[in-house]
Amino acid sequence: MSYFCYSQFFAIQTNQTKQIQEIQQMKKITKEVYLQWYEDMQFWRKFEDKLAAVYIQQKVRGFLHLYNGQEAVLAGALHAMDLSKDKMITAYRNHVQPIGMGVDPRKVMAELYGKVTGTSKGMGGSMHIFSKEHGFYGGHGIVGAQIPVGAGMAFADQYFNTGGVTLTYFGDGAARQGSLHEAFNMAMLWKLPVVFICENNGYAMGTSVERTANHTDVWKLGLGYEMPCGPVDGMNPVKVAEAMHEAIERARRGDGPTFLEMKTYRYRGHSMSDAQLYRTKDEVEEYKKIDPITQVLDIIKENNYATDAEIEAIDERVKNLVDECEKFADESPFPEVQQLYDVVYEQENYPFIPHKL
């Protein structure tokens, strides 16, 4: 049995109608796309850098998991998604994904500050960003917990015939959880409209992929379920977009799930408390040579998509927006004590704690 081959995808679809083939055509990656990718990824990087800075100042507390280095995985996926009906669910490294899907970044930063103006009124914090309005269903702190939840969301789309697809993300460490196998089995049995994505950044906290299993190709876990699967260069947004488009369209037309292993890398530690004793600085510097932001910027310059002055203007916009997010979070109030009672279930025959929300 051979695994899913993206380069052969369209060739083997000879029995599809012209209408279906038109639906499967990926949006072109134009000059405007590259410029948007650069601005978006640069903002996501600087947003995370700012969070690291304010974390040291104890404005953000608890755990903090940053996305630096993995931006191409999100940029490519957003290019392939239909944000009017597709959804996303992921683990606790979840600050910039909702921003990419349309959530106000000021509200995301306010949530990390624990402020009432945050996406969950300050009650979720770093690991639980959430926006039903924009199709982003969390941040989940329990390793692998979001995998079956993502399959369940896809089941709902199938049941109600919404035409939506759920992108379910998890790390290489979560790929060793039993819940993954249960979700894979049900998703294939029912041909659910879901794309499972492993963001393999090389380390499950501080444990390398080589030490968690007798194989390093995480994508091969899909073979046991005859699920289309394969590896993707997760440092290149073009490669990500191409793979994600094919997987999403496959799910959307009713042919079931796909499992993609995004081979990526995180430049910062697992969390802010990570001393990173498990890897060398030289290793990190090697991966910075294929930084997704640098790759996109190089293409912009090689093709004269923007002048140096225009690139500087983008960088200035990014800086100003990050500063605006920080100012908004700093100046926002903390929740009132009453909110503790408002966010729990209200019991009709126990009227002693009235809800105000």
- Cα 210 from Cα 140, distance rounded (Å): 25
Q: Beta-strand (E) ranges in the chain?
A: 87-89, 166-171, 194-200, 203-204, 207-208, 229-233, 258-263
Cα 208 to the chain's mean position, in Å?
Answer: 21
pLDDT of residue 300: 98
What DSSP state is assigned to residue 270? S
Angle in degrees, CA 303, 284, 287, rounded to 5: 30
Domain ranges in the chain?
Answer: 29-202+218-331
- Cα 266 from Cα 69, distance rounded (Å): 5
What DSSP state is assigned to residue 92? S
31 backbone dihedrals φ, ψ, rounded to 5°: -55, -45
pLDDT of residue 23: 53
What DSSP state is assigned to residue 268? S
For the chain, how are helix, strand and coil distributed in percent, rounded to 5?
45, 10, 45
Encoded tokens for 128: 């639980």
pLDDT of residue 137: 97
Q: Beta-strand (E) ranges in 63-208?
A: 87-89, 166-171, 194-200, 203-204, 207-208
Kindly give the parts of the chain with pLDDT less than 50: 1-22
The CATH code belonging to domain 29-202+218-331 is: 3.40.50.970
pLDDT in tens, 158-184: 999 999 999 999 999 999 999 999 999
pLDDT in tens, 84-96: 999 999 999 999 9
